[in-house]
Structure 1
Amino acid sequence: MSPYQLVYGKSCHLHVEIEHKAIWVLKKLNLDWGAASSQRLNDLNELDEFLLKAYESSAIYKEKMKKYHDEKIEKREFVAGDLVLLFNSRLHLFPGKLKSKWTGPFRVTQVFPHGAIELENKEGTRFKVNGQRIKVYLGKYEIVQEAIEAYYLDEV
């Protein structure tokens, strides 16, 4: 049997043959097989310990980053009847540079566990949103008529 086998059309080494070559080298150099095998086991155990320490340190790092991230999140508590603004996160191809990304105001009608909140608009339509997408509205709840002004170049 050759030292190379074809696996999926590619040649590869078999571990048995590599170990056989290692034994042949040990015999040729008159080295102690027992000492070499115990050294090999010690190296493998040391490698396992290194991998375990790396895994533990990555777990500790993830815990610290989660704690840091959770501290930076604002705790928002809403009660039914609060006025809020909703963040419009839709992708716009040509958004207005100075256009506000907050729409509303909306009235909170119900607060669900785990951050879901039901809102109601001025027409009475109700919908649910994630509590992280809204913020408190400090203005008055009144119907605002939008005034659109157009200036034409030939008038100026």
Structure 2
Amino acid sequence: MPVEIEHKAYWTVKQCNLDLKGAGVEHKLQLEELECFRLKAYKNLRSKWDGPFKMVNVRPYGVVEVAHPFNETTFKVNGHKVKPYRTQPFNKEVEVFLLEDAPKDNQ
């Protein structure tokens, strides 16, 4: 029995890849393959976002309907995913109204 356990332990160590540089490259390749598999298996998880879009409609519960500027295809996104984009510079001038107490009738 002890000889059999030693043999299995020796076989396991022999099977291990002790080349750390090669193991790192192999691990990165496996991660890349998993990412490609995920994108192929779940095509609806791929982002449709490829540029600034025009907001068409804002619906209840934070749903925003956006349209592509060229082919007018629309799709719905969560409102917290939408970033404001302004084509013209934002006007930084602020109009200030100083509020004073209303005059009393006794004065």
More strand by share: 1
Larger radius of gyration: 1
Normalising by structure 1, we get a TM-score of 0.24
Compare relative contact order (CA 8 Å, sep 6+) and give the higher one, 1 or 2.
1
